């Protein structure tokens, strides 16, 4: 990997300087190596542009994720490190991250740029970055944390004006993006943040993606598998109560806890797939969000409790003459397993276990690269979540 800083004086950073340094780095890979030895052939491939926007000192983490992604999805990655109101600085670093899969496949190198901006220089970021997008290739904008124009809890004491330069950067990036990627579980007000993200991503060809939704994929797969047999499918139509518990997130102990967004999205997915209609906004009772749904044959209550952390358990019950109970409980952190207990009728419960593969952020973002167009199932779940949280976000 070769690395260089572009334009030592921050105020002199410009597109031309970056392009010249990129050309120089690529040229350095041609010809002979030290001592006259031949340099292994290098292939230049690019399939997309990733714009990763970070705050709060996560630039090294984002750069490492982008480098890992480049091994499977060759790209030009641009990591933007934004610091509002702290001095006035604009600087850029570039690198070629090279991946050698081994003979006979050639080494593939990907370009990575890290742009650091603070204070008034944030206004210059779009003009610096937008000309560096690779023409005719999809653009993915990954915005970590809170969106700058989404409301925050009053306890954060954030001055509204402090987010204006960031909001302009996000709007300008969204104008050229194909996909906007967020992580609702990292937001201090997830429902409000998703509401803002949905509006921003509405014109995009690939729409909105959420890493929290990606983390729910193994849970959704398990639910589908459990209710696939014919007797269980019949019980699914008779469910009258669902309870989802989530872990406390970074908001644990705060005066205004974050929404249990993973549980809400999972419940919204079930409601959307089964045609349940929200009966109105959810109400909060202590640490529990209660939402009512209508369907053919009656109503259903969804209870979601916990914080903005991952899902801990799902409990589904159906009463009546042929009761049914299904319980899925995560057993451990890391590479987890899930204890599954099912009971049909008045018989004894049947207990099994299943693995729960937990993907990291690099795998989750990579999975979004493989989704073509709008994720309609996510959009359906989001519409329901935003309806039941209306007025509370």
Question: Tens digit of pLDDT for each residue in 313-332?
Answer: 999 999 887 899 999 999 87
Residue 269, domain member (yes or no): yes
Which among 114, 108, 99, 127 is positioned nearest to 51, based on CA atoms? 114
Question: Tens digit of pLDDT for each residue in 245-256?
Answer: 999 876 555 656
According to the model, what pLDDT value does residue 4 have? 41
According to the model, what pLDDT value does residue 249 have? 73
Residue 32, domain member (yes or no): yes
According to the model, what pLDDT value does residue 55 have? 81
Residue 95, domain member (yes or no): yes
Judgement on whether residues 160 and 12 belong to the same structural domain of the protein: yes
Domain containing 286 equals: 215-388
Digit-by-digit pLDDT tens for the chain (393 residues) are 334 444 333 344 677 788 888 888 888 776 544 444 444 567 788 999 999 999 867 899 999 999 999 989 999 999 999 988 767 888 888 888 887 766 566 788 889 999 999 888 999 999 999 999 999 999 999 999 899 987 766 544 444 444 688 999 999 999 999 999 999 999 989 999 999 999 999 999 999 999 999 999 999 999 999 999 988 988 888 899 999 999 987 655 565 667 999 999 999 999 999 999 999 999 988 889 999 999 887 889 999 999 999 999 999 999 887 899 999 999 875 568 999 999 998 788 999 999 998 899 999 999 999 999 999 999 999 999 999 998 764
Residue 271 CB-density burial (10 A; 0-12 exposed, 13-18 middle, 19+ buried): buried
Residue 23, domain member (yes or no): yes
Judgement on whether residues 239 and 329 belong to the same structural domain of the protein: yes
Judgement on whether residues 167 and 230 belong to the same structural domain of the protein: no
The pair phi, psi for residue 228, each rounded to 5°, is: -75, -40
Residue 393, domain member (yes or no): no
- Choose the final residue of a domain: 149, 177, 205: 177
Q: The CATH number of the domain where 327 resides is what? A: 3.30.360.10
According to the model, what pLDDT value does residue 257 have? 67
Residue 209, domain member (yes or no): no
Judgement on whether residues 235 and 376 belong to the same structural domain of the protein: yes
According to the model, what pLDDT value does residue 140 have? 98
Judgement on whether residues 126 and 247 belong to the same structural domain of the protein: no
Separation between Cα atoms, residue 256 and residue 155, nearest integer Å = 8
Judgement on whether residues 37 and 111 belong to the same structural domain of the protein: yes
Judgement on whether residues 152 and 224 belong to the same structural domain of the protein: no
According to the model, what pLDDT value does residue 335 have? 61
Judgement on whether residues 158 and 219 belong to the same structural domain of the protein: no
How many CB atoms are located within 10 Å of the residue 284 CB? Answer: 14
Judgement on whether residues 60 and 122 belong to the same structural domain of the protein: yes
Strand partners, 298: 295
Q: Give the count of domains, the chain.
A: 2
Distances from the Cα of 171 to the Cα of 81, 121, 164, angstroms: 16, 16, 11
According to the model, what pLDDT value does residue 19 have? 86
Judgement on whether residues 164 and 30 belong to the same structural domain of the protein: yes
According to the model, what pLDDT value does residue 103 have? 58
Separation between Cα atoms, residue 263 and residue 184, nearest integer Å = 12
Judgement on whether residues 161 and 26 belong to the same structural domain of the protein: yes
CB 29 within 8 A of CB 39: yes
Question: Tens digit of pLDDT for each residue in 274-299?
Answer: 999 999 999 988 889 999 999 887 88
Judgement on whether residues 32 and 85 belong to the same structural domain of the protein: yes
Residue 46, domain member (yes or no): yes
Residue 190, domain member (yes or no): no
């Amino acid at each position: 990997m070769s690395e260089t800083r572009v334009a030592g004086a921050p105020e002199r950073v410009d597109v031309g300087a970056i392009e010249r340094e990129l050309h120089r780095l690529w040229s350095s890979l041609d010809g002979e190596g030290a001592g006259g030895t031949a340099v292994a052939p290098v292939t230049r491939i690019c399939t997309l542009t990733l714009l990763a926007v970070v705050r709060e000192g996560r630039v090294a983490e984002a750069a490492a994720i982008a480098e890992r992604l480049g091994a499977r999805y060759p790209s030009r990655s641009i990591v933007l490190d934004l610091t509002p109101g702290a001095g006035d600085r604009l600087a850029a670093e570039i690198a070629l991250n090279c991946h050698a899969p081994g003979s006979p496949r050639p080494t593939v190198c990907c370009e990575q740029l890290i742009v650091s901006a603070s204070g008034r220089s944030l206004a210059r970021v779009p003009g610096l970055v937008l000309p560096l997008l690779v023409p005719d290739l999809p653009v993915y904008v990954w915005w970590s944390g809170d969106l700058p124009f989404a409301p925050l809890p009053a306890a954060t004491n954030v001055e509204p004006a402090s987010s204006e330069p960031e909001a302009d950067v996000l709007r300008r990036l969204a104008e050229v993006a194909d996909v906007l990627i967020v992580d609702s579980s990292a937001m201090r007000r997830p429902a409000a943040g998703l509401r803002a993200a949905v509006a921003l991503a509405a014109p995009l060809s690939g729409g909105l993606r959420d890493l929290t939704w990606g983390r729910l994929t193994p849970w959704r797969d398990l639910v589908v598998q459990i209710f696939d047999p014919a007797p269980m499918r019949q019980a699914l139509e008779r469910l009258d109560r669902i309870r989802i518990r989530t872990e406390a997130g970074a908001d644990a102990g705060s005066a205004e806890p974050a929404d249990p967004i993973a549980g809400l999205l999972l419940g919204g997915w079930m409601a959307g797939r089964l045609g349940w209609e929200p009966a109105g906004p959810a109400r909060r009772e202590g640490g529990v969000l209660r939402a009512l749904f209508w369907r053919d044959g009656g109503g259903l209550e969804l209870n979601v409790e916990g914080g903005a952390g991952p899902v801990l358990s799902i409990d589904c019950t159906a009463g009546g003459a042929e009761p049914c109970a299904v319980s899925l409980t995560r057993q451990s952190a890391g590479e987890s397993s899930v204890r599954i207990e099912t009971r049909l009728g008045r018989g004894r419960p049947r207990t099994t276990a299943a693995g729960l593969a937990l993907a990291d952020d690099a795998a989750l973002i990579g999975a979004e690269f493989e989704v073509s167009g709008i994720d309609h199932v996510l959009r359906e779940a989001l519409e329901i979540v935003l309806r039941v949280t209306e007025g509370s976000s």
